[in-house]
Chain A
Amino acid sequence: MKQLQNFTKGIIKENPVYILLLGLCPALGVTTSAINGLGMGIATTFVLLGSNIVVSLIKDLIPAKVRIPSFIVIIASFVTIVQLTMEAYLPDLFASLGLFIPLIVVNCLVLGRAEAFASKNTTLSSIIDALGMGLGFALALVLLGGLREILGSYSLFGYKFIPGDGMLVFVLAPGAFIGMAYLIVLFNYLKKKTS
């Protein structure tokens, strides 16, 4: 029961993007379409899962004073794995996510979970926490990416359902900020309703 709560808390109650306001840069930067949001969500989840597992395994070996630099090195290693794998097998997605793949290193969400959760809990709980938080993050990005794609180019996951150009402003930078503002309002409302 506790594990289930660990898993589901990231979806609405502690949604990393809309409630905790973590990882806003990639959330705003890559979500020009739902598929980009999904790609970024999966990449971040992988890094989160890897770093949470390693941190929870070696938490007793790391001296408290150097724990933050150690976490950063662990996270950076997983980011490099994602970066090289994506460049080799998914070059198109890698090109459209661009700078934001190496920037997963400085995503406050990943370091935040390592410091606040994985360094204090068992490996199993840390895996579940990483999957739940990663799902919440991916969901947030797909929602914002989907919203911007639907309004901005009348399509979803590349499938066009209304002919025409759409409201271009939603694909461009202002749409990211405004779309996110309304999604934060929605998630605050949902959080209030469910608790």
Chain B
Amino acid sequence: MEYFVIALGAILVSNIVFAQFLGICPYLGVSSRLSTAIGMAGAVMFVLTLATIVTFLIYSYILVPFEVTFLQTIVYILVISTLVQMVEIVLKKVSPALFQALGIFLPLITTNCAILGVAILAVQNEFNLMQSVVFAISHGLGFALAISLFASIREHLDLMDVPKSMRGAPIALIVAGILAMAFMGFAGLV
């Protein structure tokens, strides 16, 4: 039940994109086609979960015992960028098919604030390991939901007669605003 509440909260109520404004760059950047959006969402979910587990372990077993929690930001960003590199190398050897699907998105993920943001939030909320994993997976699912909804709307938007000055980023942000309004309906659910 406790895990269900965490998951529901992360996917719908405080959606990573619409309520917390994390991961806006990939959200606007790779959402013009549904297929690429799903690829990006998959890569984010994968790295997000892995990064949260690794940073959680480093935080509780290295930073806290040695009383150097103020190094959190520096350590986390280094761990995340190393992790992304390693995932890339491992995937290339172990599963070329998955690498083909996620490959081009992986380097972009290091500077995706969703990864660092969720890793820090998991510590701030004082979750244990299992709760952090659920927290990370459901934030990844929330991102996947947001970006696939948005990409399917944008595919239709290409056919619309949008005023010239609103084309591109402005209309995409208006759509995101309306989607955010819809997601506000979930407020108070948990």
Contact = CB atoms under 8 A, between A and B. Distances in A.
A180 B28 CA distance: 13
A47 to B, nearest CB: 11
B70 A84 contact: yes
Given A102-B116, A181-B177, A172 B184 contact: yes
Nearest to A172: B184
A72 B77 contact: yes
Contacts of B171: 181
Contact of B111 (A79, A106, A184): A106
Contacts of B60: none
A108 B184 contact: no
Interface in A74-108: 76-77, 79-80, 83-84, 99, 102-103, 105-108
B21 A178 contact: no
Interface string A24-41: 111011000000000000
B169 A184 contact: yes
Interface residues of B, number: 41
B120 A99 contact: yes
User: Which size class do A's interface residues fall under?
Assistant: 35 or more
Contacts of A106: 77, 110-113, 116
Interface string A116-139: 000000000000000000000000
A103 B116 contact: yes
A177 interface: yes
Given A76-B77, A106-B111, A181-B171, A173 B24 contact: no
Interface of A: 21, 24-26, 28-29, 68-69, 72-73, 76-77, 79-80, 83-84, 99, 102-103, 105-108, 111, 169, 172-178, 180-182, 184-185, 188-189
Interface of B: 18-25, 28, 70-74, 77-78, 81, 110-113, 116-117, 120-121, 124, 165-166, 169-174, 176-178, 180-181, 183-184
